Amino acid sequence: MTAAAGATPTRLMSAGLVAGPVLSMIDSSVVNLAVPDLVRELGRPLEVVQWTVSGYLLALAIGLAATSYLARRFGLVPTYAGSLALFTVSSVACALSADAGMLICFRVVQGLAGAPLVPLAIGLLIGQGGATEGARGRVPLTAGLAFFAAPALGVSLGGLLIGAYGWRSIFLVNLPVGLLALPGALAARRAGLGARGDRAVRPDLLGLVLLAAGLGLTSYGVERAAAHGWATLSWPAGLVLLAAYVLWARRRPQAALALDLARDPVRALTLALCAVSSIVLFAVLFLAPLYLQTIQHHTGLVTGLALLPQGLAMGVSAAAGTRVAERFSVRFVVVAGMLFLAVTTGLMALLSAGTPVWLTTLLLCGRGLAIGFTSQPLVVSLLGGLPPERVPDANTLFSVVQRLAGSFGIALLVTFLTTRGAAAGSALTGFRETMLVLAATALLGAPGAALLRRQAADGAGAPGQRTSFSSGR
């Protein structure tokens, strides 16, 4: 597989590559707001309607298992363009669904189609193979803003659309965005951007089954554990299947998802730090709305608007993160980011029922800046020095680690929050103690980041060359 030499995305291509992940991330959260309307209009109980959310997240996990193979077999851009087209069509089908059964089925299709969009777009926008020369390896400012603002945008935009036009509008809005994005994706395909497909690649069927079932069961079990307790067989069974996949993949030359990247000590540490930042990021994205709506009793719209600046701050700092790492080092930037993340998260333990929304938003923005500076250099470091054909494996591995860490982190912290809140007789006390736990988690990431070797944002040197830890600035 080869990539067009020196090809970089034009503005049209970048727009097409940004739109897909934004749609996928928004649809991960926006339907939560529509659940009460779906129960009322479709006439089905909450236990059934909730599968419009759970089915999508479950399908995302399963689709993620096939992403690396599809990209290697058909190429990065064709896989992305096909996924974007299917996501757009299934969004329209969701909007036209006549009953809950149809809606759940099309949401599953939506999730399967949305799974490859984020990992593939990251690789295509950052640069071929992560080999960063000059501007390559730097995330565009618009892409950083869009990616990180998307979760909060989903909450605020969803509240406006549902209130004005009903629940079907949150799916119909994907149609014009998808149609406008497809020309950019097709232009990227014509330009030969990204690694091309290799029709000689054969599917690792048993590996795909083990990986998809493991991710699916783990994601579903952890999601259920947060609400119904940990006494379930789903997530342990999922972890067993994932362990079986690891053993299987070690003996396969073309596994569904190659895990040899994790054997490199620098990339293994990078993945661990990505997991830490994911826990601190996704947990607060989940807990901050609970604080604003349950403790302070703000509306969904106010909550979404309060979260949006955090996403914008993350986007700005993500775009600037690799530039700062080029001037200093990845180690310096990530250590500083982890420390600042610990401080700003710890300050959230001082919030009260009467804290002004603007002050909460300011603290969230501080967290956003810290996460952007932390996560972006880590992603570029993970991709650094890889040939184009290894990008799908690296990005998919990153997405798998991020999803599992975020899911377990949220579930464990929600359990802790509920337990401590009940013991203290105060939801605010539970929230504050949970923020302290998150701050400690971020603080633990700082000494880990200090082990990263001194390196520029282009990361790990020559493809296939093993890297080692060394002193940094």
212 with 195, same domain: the answer is: no
Number of structural domains in the chain: 3
Query: What's the confidence (pLDDT) of residue 70?
Result: 87
Rounded mean pLDDT for each run of 10 residues along the chain, 473 residues in total = 51 80 80 82 83 84 85 86 93 92 93 88 62 46 62 68 83 89 82 71 85 87 77 88 90 79 83 85 79 83 78 77 76 88 92 91 89 78 73 80 83 86 88 92 86 50 34 33
Do 65 and 211 contact (CB within 8 A), yes or no? Answer: yes
Same domain, 350 and 426: yes
What is the per-residue pLDDT for 138?
55
pLDDT at site 439: 92
Nearest 5°: phi and psi at 195?
A: -70, 140
Contact 116, 124 (CB under 8 A): no
233 and 289 share a domain? Answer: no
Are 174 and 91 within 8 A, CB to CB?
yes
Final residue before a domain boundary, out of 203, 227, 244? 203
Q: Are residue 220 and residue 309 in the same domain, yes or no?
A: no
Distance of CA 118 to the CA centre of its chain: 7
Residue 463 has a pLDDT of 36
Q: Quick one: pLDDT at residue 394? A: 81
The pLDDT of residue 467 is 33
Instruction: Mark residue 197 as left, alpha or beta (left: phi above 0; alpha: psi -120 to 50; beta: remaining).
Output: beta
Model's pTM, two decimal places?
Answer: 0.76
Is there a single domain that holds both residue 314 and residue 378? yes
CATH of the domain at 18: 1.20.1250.20
Q: Are residues 250 and 143 in the same domain?
A: no
Q: Clarify whether residues 86 and 6 are in a common domain.
A: yes
Is the domain of 209 the same as that of 303? Answer: no
| pLDDT at 267 (0 to 100) | 83
Indicate whether 349 and 465 sit together in one domain.
yes
pLDDT of residue 195: 66
Residues 380 and 345 in one domain: yes
- pLDDT of res. 142: 60
- pLDDT (0 to 100) of residue 135: 42
- Cα distances from 279 to residues 286, 337, 401, 408, in angstroms, run 11, 15, 10, 8
Do 239 and 128 belong to one domain?
Answer: no
What range does the domain containing 188 cover? 1-203
Same domain as 188, residue 268: no
